[in-house]
């Protein structure tokens, strides 16, 4: 008889108090384990479709820095051969010229970098040169942000409020022209 009595008293419930904790633990685990692969790459704006009626805007020769890469992967800046690691400095010089040297741009707002390649060039080289061009702009922007706020451009950008004017971008707008490719 005492044996039967004990049986009735026994609590048959599974303790559920910690269930929520287990669920949360699992949630956190999966949140951490899941990799959110963000897309990384070189962002570019393609030129709009050519309109026959509208004449393309005139750009003064001094404001335009023409970079041409031929099929062998040789880089020609304004018609002169240049090493890939040297073009970054050349572009920085071009953007930040402020009208001092007559061979370079009048001001950063007017400065345009034109990038063109021959058709048989490999994409790897294309990205390599484009990377340098982008890098030059990043360098210039970082420098200016450092002058303004004493921090790098991304940090400066993160500190801006939504209605604040991005002065760095205003001063050094990204003007890379992907030139019309040659036919054939």
Interacting residues with another protein (CB under 8 A): 4, 7-8, 12-14, 16, 19-20, 22-23, 26-27, 30, 33-34, 38-49, 117-124, 126-128, 130-132, 134-135, 138, 178, 181
| Measured distance CA(86)–CA(95) in Å, rounded | 15
Q: How far is the CB of 71 from another protein (least distance, A)?
A: 9
Residue 87 CB contacts under 8 Å (≥ 6 apart), including other chains: 67, 75, 77, 129, 132, 133, 136
* Structure tokens given for 162: 């939504």
In the bound complex, what is the minimum distance in angstroms from residue 62's beta carbon to another protein?
Answer: 25
32 contacts: CB under 8 Å, gap ≥ 6: none
From the CB of 106, what's the least distance to another protein, in Å?
25
For another protein, give the closer residue by CB, 106 or 173: 173
CB nearer to another protein: pick between 12 and 165:
12
Among residues 44 and 86, whose Cβ is nearest to another protein? 44
In whole angstroms, give the CA distance from residue 155 to residue 157: 5
Q: How many CB atoms lie within 10 A of CB 83?
A: 8
Burial of 100 (0-12, 13-18, 19+ CB in 10 A): exposed
Q: How far is the CB of 80 from another protein (least distance, A)?
A: 21
Tell me whether residue 68 or residue 149 sits nearer to another protein (CB atom).
Answer: 68
Report the relative pairing of strands 112-117 and 176-178 from DSSP bridges. parallel
Minimum distance from CB of 112 to another protein (Å)?
Answer: 17
Residue 34 vs 61, nearer CB to another protein: 34
């Amino acid at each position: 008889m005492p044996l039967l009595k004990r049986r009735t008293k026994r609590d048959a419930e599974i303790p559920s108090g910690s269930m929520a904790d287990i669920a949360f633990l699992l949630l956190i685990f999966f949140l951490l384990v899941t990799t959110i692969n963000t897309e990384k790459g070189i962002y570019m704006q393609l030129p709009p479709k050519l309109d026959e009626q509208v004449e393309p805007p005139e750009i003064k020769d001094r404001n335009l820095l023409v970079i041409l890469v031929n099929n062998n992967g040789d880089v020609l800046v304004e018609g002169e051969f240049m090493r890939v690691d040297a073009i970054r400095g050349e572009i920085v010089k071009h953007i930040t010229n402020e009208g001092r040297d007559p061979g370079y741009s009048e001001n950063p707002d007017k400065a345009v970098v034109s990038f063109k390649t021959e058709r048989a060039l490999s994409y790897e080289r294309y990205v390599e040169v484009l990377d340098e061009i982008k890098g030059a702009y990043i360098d210039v922007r970082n420098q200016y942000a450092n002058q303004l706020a004493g921090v790098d451009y991304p940090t400066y950008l993160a500190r801006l409020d939504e209605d604040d004017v991005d002065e760095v971008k205003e001063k050094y707008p990204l003007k890379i022209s992907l030139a019309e490719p040659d036919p054939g």
